Chains A and B, each alone.
Chain A
Amino acid sequence: MKRLSVKKVALLGVLTALSLLMFIVESLLSSLVLPGAKIGLSNIFTLLSLFLLGPIEAIILVVARTVLGSVIVGSLSQLMFSLTAGLVSVIVAIIIYILAFDKVSIIALSVLSATIHNIVQTAVFCLITMSTTYFSLLLYLVPLGIIAGALVGVVTQMLIKYIPKSFAEKLL
């Protein structure tokens, strides 16, 4: 199988580890600002793995990060909404990447993905708790998600731009 070369698996492992690290650091800091709000810096690595490795690798990264992240810093019930939201948003990113990447920039893709992540996460949370009260959180989660998504998009694009070409070619 050409897909799973040793280099690719190693790179995916490194990206997953970095993503998980960001996820943990962020969840320790996030609640100081606003309940439930996170920048989602771990998604820089999700996007990198989507662009550098491919859609399936990006899904593997999201699943690994949310499962391990929930085991380390959260609880299993937290996994329910972070996993569904993470998967839905990465799938949206993949669909855009496959169908419309020649017309959509990395930043816009990241913004849309972040917005969908917030909406799905809040919807799942309301479904689990059977209450609509926290749906109003979206009022500030969505605008914050747009800013965070844009930030993640810019950082991802910068990283891709400034990785030395020779280094990137050796990696892939």
Chain B
Amino acid sequence: MKYSIEQLKKQPYFKIGDIIIYALVAIITITLSVVFLIPKEDRALDKVCIYYKDALIYEYDFTSGKGKVTDGYQSYVAEQTKNDKTLVTISTKDGENEVEIAKAYALMAKSDCSSYADCVRSFRPIRQGGDMIICLPNNIRIIGEGKVLQNEIRL
């Protein structure tokens, strides 16, 4: 099954079967909007948890403004405060990551996972419960936790 150059050159921009394909794509888009737009809930950001290979290694509480390293992981985590910002450096045998936590957000500031560092460049900062940043190569996962805000407007 092969088309010659002449046949390919004569291809129109629209053929009758396109309708089916465009309809299918439209159905997918509409379904997604219905699924993801309606049950939209706002959540507060109470805590940020950092996991290494499914083990909780560090926890930051926004109400008290204090961080806590899980017992047994002190050698992995270094914490320092710099002008209202808390910098958490995580060094494991998989690599080194630096997480920046400030008043209402947390983000991955540095990572040595790859030259591209998806976790630093692609993920948006955590601003509410349920947000997360994942660094797959270094097995680090940062998750925001918080209660669902009902009938409240999040500013």
Contacts and interface: CB of A to CB of B under 8 A. Distances in A.
Interface of A: 27, 31, 35-36, 51-52, 54, 73-78, 97-98, 100-109, 111-112, 115, 119, 128-129, 131, 133-136, 138-139, 142-143, 146, 154, 157, 160-161, 163, 165, 168-169, 172
B37 interface: yes
A150 to B, nearest CB: 10
A77 B18 contact: no
Contact of A157 (B11, B115, B118, B132): B11
A105 B2 CA distance: 15
B136 A77 contact: yes
B24 interface: yes
Given A75-B116, A103-B17, A115 B33 contact: no
A145 B141 CA distance: 27
B14 A105 contact: yes
Contacts, number: 109
B130 interface: yes
A104 B29 contact: no
A31 B15 contact: no
Given A75-B116, A106-B11, 16 more contacts: A31-B122, A36-B122, A54-B2, A73-B116, A75-B137, A78-B136, A100-B17, A103-B15, A108-B22, A115-B25, A129-B134, A139-B36, A142-B32, A157-B13, A160-B5, A169-B5
Main secondary structure, interface of A, reads: helix
B85 to A, nearest CB: 22
18 contacts: A27-B116, A35-B124, A51-B3, A51-B8, A52-B5, A73-B115, A73-B116, A75-B116, A101-B3, A104-B15, A105-B14, A107-B14, A136-B36, A138-B36, A142-B28, A146-B25, A165-B5, A169-B5
